[in-house]
Amino acid sequence: MRDCGDSPPEELLRAVDEFNRGDWFDCHETLEDLWAGEEWEMRDFYQGVLQVAVALHHWREGNFRGAVLLLEGGAKCLRRVRPVCQGVDSEVLAAAADRLREALLLLGPDRMAELDRELIPRLRLVQAGAESESQ
């Protein structure tokens, strides 16, 4: 079993790149393989990132309800794990998902395409006290 203190596996690094490129469905597919075999904290971590990615996919596809529900669920999962898990700043991602959800709720389903793109979260890798953002 994996642990939050472990180095990120190759699949997670690939998912980070997919997420940050806006390939949210691909990110979901990559993380699903990791998520399926895990328990406890690691399951919550992978599920949280996966749900935020799928929420963004739903937003892009115009599915307001799916985006809002998955942002809420993803943030809840991420708040159950350590602030940094396998090098990913899960605390920052949970907060970003909350901000995005609030913005979407203010816009409503008819105006969700007007979302400020600056609110779209990115996965941040944190390594040995130094922060980096995967491109």
pLDDT in tens, 77-90: 999 998 888 888 99
Side-by-side strand order, sheet with 88-89: 84-85, 88-89, 124-127, 130-133
pLDDT of residue 34: 77
Does residue 132 lie in a domain region? no
Residue 133 counted as domain residue: no
Residue 66 has pLDDT above 60, yes or no: yes
Average pLDDT over residues 26-44: 81
**Alpha-helix residue ranges (DSSP H) falling in the chain:** 10-21, 24-36, 40-61, 64-78, 90-107
Predicted confidence (pLDDT) at residue 132 exceeds the cutoff of 50:
no
Determine what percent of the chain is predicted with pLDDT higher than 90: 50
β-strand partners of 126: 131
Higher pLDDT, 42 or 101: 101
The CATH code of the domain that includes 105 is 1.10.3450.10
Does this model's pTM top 0.85?
Answer: yes
Is 5's pLDDT higher than 60?
yes
Cα–Cα dist 31/11, whole Å = 7
In a domain, 42, yes or no: yes
The answer as to whether 35 is a domain residue is: yes
Q: Is residue 4 part of a domain?
A: no
Domain holding 32, by residue range, is: 10-123
Domains of the chain: total: 1
114 part of a folded domain: yes
Residue 105 lies in a domain: yes
CA 68 to chain CA centroid, nearest Å? 13
The confidence score (pLDDT) of residue 55 equals 95
Specify the pLDDT at position 86.
85
